[in-house]
Amino acid sequence: MAGANTSLDAEKIRQDFPVVTSSINGKPMVYLDSANTSQKPVAVIDAMTAFMREGYAPINRSAYSLAAEATEKYEGARTKVAKFINAKSSREIVFTKNATEALNLIAYSWGRTNLKRGDVVVLTHMEHHANIVPWQMLQQEIGIELRWVPLTSDFQLDLSSLSNLLAGAKVFSFTSMSNVLGTINPVEKLCAAAHAVGALAIVDACQSVPHAPTDVQAWGADFTMFSSHKMCGPSGVGVLWGREALLEAMPPFLGGGNMISEVRLDGFKCAELPAKFEAGTPPITEVIGLGAAVDYLNGIGMANVRRHEVEMSSYVLENLTARFGDEITIHGPRNPELRGATFSFAFRGIHPHDLSQILDQTNVCVRAGHHCAKPLMKIIGANATARASFYLYNTKADADALANALDSASDIF
């Protein structure tokens, strides 16, 4: 029994992350901003450094062996990412600049080809700006209609009117986990609901891929996207996954080198997938870093990561509530099984900006603000919140440090 059910050893994992174990002015770092961006393990830093020191070369365009090996490493990372989310084929994996670019790619390329005035795109009140603004741009440009799935009082999606909202819809695009509330959405159920009306199911998986096992085929999704930098990889690279037939039928997004098979003065012919969507020199080193991050996470096991975060959630919720009672308001589900370890909160009426400034005195790093989800903030009645988010390298000691730092904040105000 023991062993199979124990989650990961966060104390040991911490040692892999230089920033997590660092200190400023003799005070240890308490990094609680991983929903924003995660820290990087030595394995990723070393893989990128080694490639730049010993293996750096262009990909897909030169015959010498250094370039061939670079291409192999780059494409090897694609294969790793495909397996990591159980894509059918690595041709379905497109590397973008970030998840935001991936959403823009879909809205631009699929949206402009397939949507016309009056067509309905359904979003939810939980979305962050990356899954709102590209659709609003289409709304301005071609006059599509946007509909919104609201929230229940316990911070879930209110699915009671979902079939009405989806009636006649062409697209249902939603987050797998709220970056503000921590709520984990029933992705398979939502994809099935979209398909029942013939709509496309797009899953913004930025907050869930780093934290739990992902199986895009089991989800039944059409497109998904996520960022390397939130899953122990470097910034500068994101992933778009799409069903091959859909990607095949879409026109290219950016034009240039690498995405063509032929260019003449009177026109061009697109390259095969996935190169068709990867114009220009890609972030080669970063993609290789992402591959190393996937290896690192596989070595730990995503089910173990998820289990650890459920344990962290229980601890954080119990402790903050026991210690501060009504003085803290946590905007999100109370059940650790229904949420990720991301906590937005209000504390003793202290403005989140002031709160994070004071927490910074003891190196407790939390985000303050609107978390790129202004419509959601308005709906939960907060202009801004402080947000503490935990990952595989965070321990109960980090949660205690947060609580202690919070307690000291009211001394000033």
Partner 1 sequence: MPGVEDLYREIILDHYRTPRNRGELPPPAVCTEGNNPLCGDDIRIFLDIADGVVRDVKFSGQGCSISQSSTSMMTVAIKGKPVEEVRALVRRFKHMMTLSDDEGAVDESIKLGDIEALGGVVKFPVRIKCATLGWNTLLEGLNSSQG
**For binding to partner 1 (CB under 8 A), which residues are involved?**
24-25, 351-354, 357-358, 360-361, 368-370, 374, 377, 383-384, 412-413
Q: How far is the CB of 361 from partner 1 (least distance, A)?
A: 6
Instruction: Write a three-state SS string for the chain.
Output: CCCCCCCCCHHHHHCCCCCCCCEECCEECEECECCCCCCCCHHHHHHHHHHHHHHCCCCCCCCCHHHHHHHHHHHHHHHHHHHHCCCCCHHHEEEECCHHHHHHHHHHHHHHHHCCCCCEEEEECCCCHHHCHHHHHHHHHHCCEEEEECECCCCCECHHHHHHHHCCEEEEEEECECCCCCEECCHHHHHHHHHHCCCEEEEECCCCCCCCCCCHHHHCCCEEEEEHHHCCCCCCCEEEEECHHHHHHCCCCCCCCCCEEEEECCEEEECCCCHHHCCCCCCHHHHHHHHHHHHHHHHHCHHHHHHHHHHHHHHHHHHHHHHHHHHEEECCCCCHHHECCEEEEEECCECHHHHHHHHHCCCEECEEECCCCHHHHHHCCCCCEEEEECCCCCCHHHHHHHHHHHHHHCCCC
List the catalytic residue out of 206, 232, 270, 372: 372
Minimum CB separation of residue 368 from partner 1 in Å reads 6
225: β partners: 204, 240
Compute the least distance from the CB of residue 372 to partner 1, in Å: 10
> Does residue 206 have an active-site annotation?
no
Nearest approach, Cβ of residue 28 and partner 1 (Å):
14
C-beta of 401: minimal distance to partner 1 in Å? Answer: 16
Q: Measured between alpha carbons, how far is 136 from 142 in angstroms, rounded to an integer? A: 10
Q: Please, which residue, 243 or 351, has the CB nearer to partner 1?
A: 351
Smallest separation (angstroms) from partner 1 to the CB of 111: 25
Q: Minimum distance between the CB of residue 400 and partner 1, rounded to whole angstroms?
A: 21
b (16+ CB within 10 A) / e for 244-282: eeebeebebbbeeebbbeeeeeeeeebbebbbbbbbeeb
* Residue among 177 and 384 whose Cβ is closer to partner 1: 384
Per the CB < 8 A criterion, the answer to whether 290 and 94 are in contact is no
Q: Which CB atom, from 116 or from 353, has the smaller least distance to partner 1?
A: 353
Residues designated as active site: 372
